[in-house]
Structure 1
């Protein structure tokens, strides 16, 4: 396994692989996302086009089996910036961690920690004072929650992140089996760097 931070042209060449990973991993609980290659390709291209964006890739040979993204928060969509700015948080000093996706057979090997290490290093290198991400909120009794599901909260807490009370945004996507998109609440987690 190789963990490598991609920027510039290398990052652009990884767009299709990241789109495929997002579709595969986000189909799982708790996201339950029903994605399309066209939407994913456009989303990823928009995300990585922002100056300062990075993609941390986990490679098994030449194959990307996992990826995590990070970008300056000031360049994110207003729906993500607004709740922070309304709280007086300077998004110009904040880095946003997008997805962290890893195929199931590669989990439990420390790759998730490396994803955070590399993204935090990129954030510090860009002069960010803090890093944040947003996680979907699902009810504990959700009918599609697998009995074996373990939330990532303990992992994130050990990494020094904490949910910011009441700091929630909404993001719409189509759940598996839904006829149309619906808004999902997303809880912000934050860590001072």
Structure 2
């Protein structure tokens, strides 16, 4: 779950629009472009294919409790938050929680939190996450959020000098690291080589009366 959120400033940002079910299908191309562009950059370094992205994103249109919060400006998608019940995710992801006390039926998985670089440092990441949390709380059956981040060494040769890891944003928004709860995914990097990657899970307790 990547984001480019940095220290936030109180600048005007567009609100996200909630999409569910068939409405998600109409935004698949925009979401695929957003994912392909942002995931290509550090720390994910994911060289994806549009066909694969569209196939993956269709699950958000097909799962009844999935949702997408999409922010656009000038007709272009500039940010998005996506999620679905953890119990609906693939078996490889679920296996990471085999030894965890987490109740999978009460856990909502945040698939992505994406921002165009030009919209970082403007509070859009927090706004999209808050909108997603509000929607999840409204469902009335989820008690926590979980998400996963890719693990990269601090001395990775492609790490930008001004890179700020997502872990800081997660900590500031109430997520805690789940020690030992990890999984592995392989994907092709920009150099064309497919590599294995460790994904670390995080969790946030949802409070119905939480103040935003």
TM-score (norm 2): 0.86
2:102 to 77, 80, 89: 89
Alpha-carbon distance in 1 for matches of 2:152, 2:92:
19
Alpha-carbon distance in 2 for matches of 1:99, 1:108:
18
Contact 2:15 2:127 in 1 (8 A): no
Contact 2:69 2:82 in 1 (8 A): yes
Does 2:161 match 1:147? Answer: yes
Moved more, 149-158 or 14-23: 149-158
1:9 to 22, 31, 41: 22
Alpha-carbon distance in 2 for matches of 1:106, 1:52:
28
Shift >3 Å, 4+ stretches: none
Structure 2 unpaired stretches of 5+: 1-13, 207-212
Alpha-carbon distance in 2 for matches of 1:84, 1:120:
21
Shift of 1:62: 2.9
Structure 1 unpaired stretches of 5+: none
Corresponding residue of 2:40: 27
Corresponding residue of 2:8: none
Alpha-carbon distance in 2 for matches of 1:186, 1:192:
20
Choose between structure 1 and 2 for higher RCO, CA contacts under 8 A separated by at least 6 residues.
Answer: 2
Contact 1:4 1:56 in 2 (8 A): yes
Contact 1:171 1:185 in 2 (8 A): yes
Shift of 1:99: 1.0
Does 2:188 match 1:174? Answer: yes
1:70 to 71, 83, 100: 83
Root-mean-square deviation (CA, aligned residues, Å) is: 1.3
Higher helix share: 1
Corresponding residue of 1:162: 176
Alpha-carbon distance in 2 for matches of 1:161, 1:69:
16
